Amino acid sequence: MRELLIGNHALARGAWEAGVRVAAAYPGTPSTEIIEALARYPEVYAEWAPNEKVALEVAIGAAIGGARSLAAMKHVGVNVAADPLMTLAYTGVNAGLVLVSADDPGLFSSQNEQDNRFYARLAQIPCLEPADSQEVKDMTMLAFSLSEEFDTPVMLRLTTRIAHSYSLVELGQRREVPLKDYVKQPAKYVMLPAFGKVRHRVVEERRLKLAAYAETTPLNRVEWADRRAGVITAGISYQYVKEALPGVSILKLGLTYPFPEKLIRDFVRAVETCYVVEELEPFLEDQIRALGLPVTGKELVPRVDELSSLIVARTVGARVAAVAPELVCPDLAAVALPAMTAAGNPAAGSTVLAPGEAEGVREQGTATAAAGEEVAAASGQGGAAAPAATLTGFPAAADLPGRPPLMCPGCPHRGVFYVLKKLGLVVAGDIGCYTLGATPPLQAMDTCICMGASLGVAMGLEKARGPEFARRVVAVIGDSTFLHSGMTGLLDMVYNGSNGTLIILDNGTTAMTGHQDHPGTGYTAAQRPAPKADLKQIARALGVQRVQVVDSYDLEAVEKAIREETAAAGPSVIIARRPCALLNKEKEAVYIVDKGNCLGCRYCLELGCPALSFKEQQAVIDPVQCNGCGLCTQICPGEAIRKAGEEDE
């Protein structure tokens, strides 16, 4: 059955047919209708998130949780979501994840005209550009498959003209894609620097595989016609070229990043003159010029505003008509090139219109051609040699003993992660020194994407795998990070009916960067007194009914609170509070080991405290490093650890 659909509804239909389970978005023209349409499918959990960043984080959590997911936003929304996007490119996905970027050439309802294909290139993820509603649906379905095949998010880029134009779409049935298993993989989903370095190499390997795929995929196809003129184009520009220049050969790119170098080289060499027609930035043109290939693009085609068939006829069409007038649509030529057609001798009137003379072009930059020439010139210079390594006189890193990253002695976060590991919970983590809760021996963190992402990821895991799984999921975030970008995630949990639990690790400072103040410390950067944000009141103001405050050093209280809140219905918050150990200059009494009671079980080492070690099958506490937090004595099964001075050793 065929139906007339706008691109946004075709996208929703394609996502539904592809088996999407979770979709999130923040409304923004021209993308808004996507989530509205998906919300009408009962098989899909669809939500409005407080912003695009949270929407993408929810989709990330769902994909990691094994459900195909989608996040939709307008082009400027990707700016808001760029933080998780850049790291998502590193982690990859479990189930397929599609990011829809609806760009707005012509600024019909936007504050700028940015070209988001550059985001795909920046993140090194595939970018698909459909040219009508049928392609929107088909590419949406393919995007999920590509995402899973290459373990990457996929950007599907629409423009306003595609998103809001009707064309016929062949409808299909929904494919029920089974929920993939959730497997804890901190090396893949917790982007500590050590893991991130490894994943960056994976991204590079994936880019090369995608580039090879781009050479053979039917997404990129050549439509041969007259070879005196050829056009490389994509998206809606393809439709304009087909209408304005029906006689030229066309290389239509559906996958615009990475693009097919060999296919492009072969095409350019096979036509006498090659043009690049694309809206907004010379995204394709610059890359083609960097290959050293002679193409004409932004010298003729406007760099601002929407294109149209008439603009293509007036710009590229004028140049083509000078050589082969029969390749240009006669009806459009009569309007776009009246002087040439009236003279009956196109060659005699072959003056090419300046870009700013094209209809609908309000303003045209003058540096485009120069910039393109610079790119072409640079491409012929070859790569510069890498600078030689500098001799510093310091020993090489390989000569130094290994020092695994660990939390500081007395860190108040240690006990919380110890309990989380003990309870076997799934932990969506965040950015801060507490991210070290992912490292041995604690190993209590499952994901870490970016600042403030823990809540959205936890929400996505819950929506992917259901309320029972949600009782095993907690999000953890520091006080500073919560105020940075965690509040919107908590609002999303409340607004969209989460049963999740958030633990705010409140140590009263921005510890990781050197104890800077934040709105919750009561002081400004100049150390002037300031209003102190109250985390408990903020949580309640955001709609959380269940809020507990516990002492991070009291393991029994921490465990009790976590058990209660993960079992409770509705969203809840636990504020685990203790000042950063490095802020307390007055050292508590250190702990010692009663050798007569030490069982040699090594259980105390599970805390990962640098002050604890083993010697001759017994625990030893370094009195210099011991901070006196007392966590070790709370978990020692032999009651062998006590405060120094309490009684004789």
Q: Contact, 4 vs 137, CB < 8 A?
A: no
Q: Contact, 100 vs 31, CB < 8 A?
A: yes
Residue type, 282: P
Tokens of 367: 């540096």
Whether residue 632 is annotated as binding a ligand: the answer is yes
The terminus-to-terminus CA distance of the chain in angstroms comes to 85
Whether residue 433 is annotated as binding a ligand: the answer is no
Task: Render 574-617 in DSSP notation, one character per residue.
Answer: EEEE---TTT--SPPPPEEE-TTT-----GGGGG--TTEEEETT
Task: Give the CA angle between residues 87, 89, 94 to the nearest 5°.
Answer: 105
Q: How far apart are CA 486 and CA 483, in angstroms?
A: 6
Q: How far apart are CA 388 and CA 177, in angstroms?
A: 52
Whether residue 408 is annotated as binding a ligand: the answer is no
Q: Contact, 144 vs 118, CB < 8 A?
A: no
Q: Are strands 2-6 and 22-25 parallel, antiparallel or unpaired?
A: unpaired
Q: How far apart are CA 373 and CA 299, in angstroms?
A: 11
Whether residue 580 is annotated as binding a ligand: the answer is no
Tokens of 538: 């903020």
Strand partners, 196: none
Tokens of 364: 């045209």
Whether residue 448 is annotated as binding a ligand: the answer is no
All residues at 6 or more sequence positions from 146 whose CB lies less than 8 Å from its CB, including other chains:
96, 126, 152, 154
Q: How far apart are CA 429 and CA 409, in angstroms?
A: 21
Sign of CA dihedral 284, 287, 292, 296: positive
Give the 3-state DSSP-derived string for 504-538, with helices as H, strands as E and coil as C: EEECCCECCCCCECCCCCCECCCCCECCCCCHHHH
Q: How far apart are CA 376 and CA 75, in angstroms?
A: 29
Q: Contact, 492 vs 55, CB < 8 A?
A: no
Sign of CA dihedral 562, 565, 571, 577: negative
Q: How far apart are CA 487 and CA 455, in angstroms?
A: 9
- Specify the length of the chain in residues: 649
Q: How far apart are CA 580 and CA 166, in angstroms?
A: 58
Angle formed by the axes of helices 7-17 and 133-150, nearest 10°? 40
Tokens of 420: 């989380």
Task: Quote the distance between the C-alpha of residue 450 and its chain's center.
Answer: 9
Annotated binding site for [4Fe-4S] cluster: 598, 601, 604, 609, 626, 629, 632, 636
Annotated binding site: 598, 601, 604, 609, 626, 629, 632, 636
